Structure 1
Amino acid sequence: MSLDQRTAVIGVGYEGNDLDAFLRQLRSHGVSCLIDVRLTPISRKPGFSKRRLSESLTQQGIDYIHLPQLGNPKWNRLGFAGSAAELAEARTNYETHIASAEAVAALDEIALWAQKGRVALLCFEADERRCHRSVILELIRRHMSQVA
């Protein structure tokens, strides 16, 4: 989990966690809104598919939002697990992918939620450096610093 006090946005990966441990982690960081940036919010891991996760978060007083327009396309995922060069290429590909008006609007939505409270961006990968959410976090931090 990465933490940036300036933006009130953190990244979270549920890899290696069960649902209860994951929810405790969110509560300990004061998360008020979880934004799911998976392209398809389906998981083989119990409790992490969209409906069940949303229900569990609601019980904890945490809002759930799914922004599929910020999901990493399947064709680009292997690069995030590859060599340094493959990772750099995957990050560049992803940045290009989310340059659409829809994705920019989704980034604006994250920034708005971050003004209300602590926001967590969700994907599976535990190592944030190997996940597309790290790119989103960088973009949000730049956006928030320009607004401030």
Structure 2
Amino acid sequence: MLVTIAPLRLWTIGHGTRSSQEFLDALRGQGIPQLIDVRAHPGSRANPQFGKAALESALGAGGVAYDHWPALGGRRRGLGDASPNVAWQHPSFRAFADYMMTDEFWKAVDELLLLARERPTVIMCSETLWWRCHRRLIADAASARGAAVLHIVKPGIIAPHVLSPPARVVGDRVVYTTPG
């Protein structure tokens, strides 16, 4: 008897200025029943439909479970001049890469991937463009752990993740140091 194991998949999405309906349609289009909010602060003054309470309610009504995971939130304080992640020029990406060197980060990634094995899961932040968001670095980490990561650009448009150019996989972790 041949047993087929489905590949481990993780989706990402940025809420941007979408309507609640467009956002739900994008998730439904991929059959995603679980959303993990990776915003450092799960609120939005500009787009109140994406505040934590409103989002959790709308998702629940649409059959999607919501959870906020601060351990994967962005807006980290980096190591400044002591950062080994010099391959990132952008200070917020470098600071998040510094955070990626912690056991707390990798524990959260492993928990995320366990959840993604159980049910289709998407991580969400506010930035629409995944390559301008810390979801890009989380996607690098998930890829290093063997997940196929798919970025939901809009309903029906998916971009498969490839490692960010400065990323190097060392063992089952990602570093953004210069080789040498």
TM-score by length of 2: 0.67
Other-structure match for 2:104: 102
Count the aligned residue pairs. Answer: 134
Write the deviation string for residues 35-70 of structure 1: whole angstroms up to 9, x where unpaired. Answer: 100011011212111111112111222111111121
Q: Identical aligned pairs, as a percentage?
A: 29
Cα distance in 2 for partners of 1:7, 1:130 equals 24
Q: Which letter maps to 1:86?
A: Q
SS class of match (1:122): strand
1:39 corresponds to 2:40: yes
Between the two structures, name the one with larger relative contact order (CA 8 Å, sep ≥ 6).
Answer: 1
Cα distance in 2 for partners of 1:138, 1:6 equals 17
Alignment of 1:62-141 (within 5 A): 62-73=64-75, 86-87=89-90, 89-141=91-143
Q: Give 1 or 2: higher helix fraction.
A: 1
Q: CA deviation at 1:85?
A: 6.0
Other-structure match for 2:54: 52
Q: CA deviation at 1:23?
A: 0.8
Write the deviation string for residues 100-119 of structure 1: whole angstroms up to 9, x where unpaired. Answer: 33222211111011101221
Unaligned runs of 5+ in 2: 1-5, 79-86, 148-171, 173-180
Q: CA deviation at 1:74?
A: 6.2
Q: Highest CA radius of gyration, 1 or 2?
A: 2
Q: Which letter maps to 1:92?
A: R
Unaligned runs of 5+ in 1: 77-83
Flag the 1:98–1:85 CA change in 2: closer, same or farther, 3 A.
closer
Cα distance in 2 for partners of 1:58, 1:7 equals 24
Superposed CA RMSD in Å reads: 2.2
TM-score by length of 1: 0.80
